[in-house]
Structure 1
Amino acid sequence: MYFPVCFVKQIQDGQISAEELQRCLTQSGISGSYKPFSMDACRLMISMLDRDMSGTMGFTEFRELGQVLNCWKSTFATYDRDHSGTVEVQELQHAITSMGYNLSPQAMNVIMKRFSMSGRITFDEFISCCVKLRALTDHFRRRDTSQTGNASFQYDDVRFHAYDVTVFKCFKPLMSDLGTLANFQWFL
């Protein structure tokens, strides 16, 4: 994997910023024939793994990102059946379901409106969607300590994730013992 070498070349302080991540991912070729990742997508990737809230990620997080990006790229390629570099809503639904998420039609509608400009999702937009889904799921799981599909949130939790709540509210719960998203209710 090219990611660790890229990490060393891009940074000197042991942390990687969104700008450095964008350069590194572009140089690595992870986006393949797709366009390079947007700065917004890179910021989302960092925030997904930024456990210390520094706005950067270290080598361990960077390596984890490389693994999930390769997985998501494979999933995207599987469902981009016409090799157009985009997936339609039905293909997106199948891709998301294959990753263990069971989303309502309303949630899929919100995702399409949030991440698509033309009714089709590009690779960059797909990665942004996957990052949001993972971040929201991880955040929910941390609060659902009894794994019942219910969680309580403080105002600050909601405020920091307010943008994410729009998508999150449309999920129909879940939390199985395998930790996959299935059927939870979001109560404010």
Structure 2
Amino acid sequence: MAYPGYGGGGPPPFGNLGHQMHMMGQAVGQAMAGMTTTTGYFGQPQYAAGDPLWGYFSAIAGQDGEIDAEELQRCLTQAGIHGTYTPFSLETCRIMIALLDIDHTGKMGFNEFKELWGALSAWKQHFCTFDQDRSGTVEPHEFSQALMAMGYRINHQTLSALIKRYSKNGRIYFDDYVACAVKLRALTDVFRRRDSMQQGFVNFMYDDFLQCTISI
């Protein structure tokens, strides 16, 4: 069964996207040139000094050797992934960490950071495809096209609700674009896992519903 609203055509929020990390990896390598830290934190494995992301990660991670939402926000703001140097959304950082946080510490280790960075690179390329005027934002009609390209088939009311939730002054910025796309994919995955018979509907107990959605 084809699930309405399942984003099968666009870049996944996280996954094996190593080849798509190249562009941002180069930028990080240039920004962090000269950093050769290889010492791991508290038993973490050591990484080759030639890995530009390890230098970036170790410069931003706290003494615990992990990155929390506030540290990730500073990292992404300094990297300029937003397209400007305005602060990257802290709420989006929390959402992304929650989806990667397997051990429920509220933080990311280096491997999780690399996975996230690759996903963000893919999202950025996807975003730029629909930012036709190169304004660093997408307009509602461009946003609708982007969702369709990801494979989502949502009705007008749902689209209007998403635009209202994620737009600022009628435009969607990159960090809000990522937050929306990741939430849509995560919620759809929750739905698909529960719809084992592929009937297009599921039943939730109240507490079960909260547990499935509260961290997304």
TM-score (norm 1): 0.75
What's the CA shift string for 1:51-96, capped at 9, x where partnerless? Answer: 3332222223222211221111111111111112211111001111
Shift of 1:48: 2.4
What's the CA shift string for 1:92-116, capped at 9, x where partnerless? Answer: 0111121222222121111011111
The answer to whether the 8 A contact 1:36-1:124 is kept is: no
The answer to whether the 8 A contact 1:6-1:28 is kept is: no
Q: Which residue of 1 aligns with 2:210?
A: 159
Unaligned runs of 5+ in 2: 1-24, 29-52
Q: Which residue of 2 aligns with 1:102?
A: 153
Q: Which residue of 1 aligns with 2:16?
A: none
Q: What is the Cα-based RMSD across aligned positions, in Å?
A: 2.3
Q: 1:40 to 1:159 in 2, by over 3 A?
A: same
Q: Which amino acid aligns with 1:104?
A: N
The answer to whether the 8 A contact 1:35-1:124 is kept is: no
Q: Which residue of 2 aligns with 1:121?
A: 172
Bigger Rg over Cα: 2
2:109 matches 1:58? yes
Q: 1:163 to 1:8 in 2, by over 3 A?
A: closer
> Aligned to 2:143, which of 63, 72, 92?
92
Q: Which residue of 2 aligns with 1:139?
A: 190
Q: 1:67 to 1:154 in 2, by over 3 A?
A: farther
Separation in structure 2 between the aligned mates of residue 89 and residue 99 of structure 1, nearest angstrom: 15
Q: Give % identity.
A: 51
Q: Which amino acid aligns with 1:68?
A: A
Asked which structure has the greater RCO (Cα within 8 Å, sep 6+), the reply is: 2
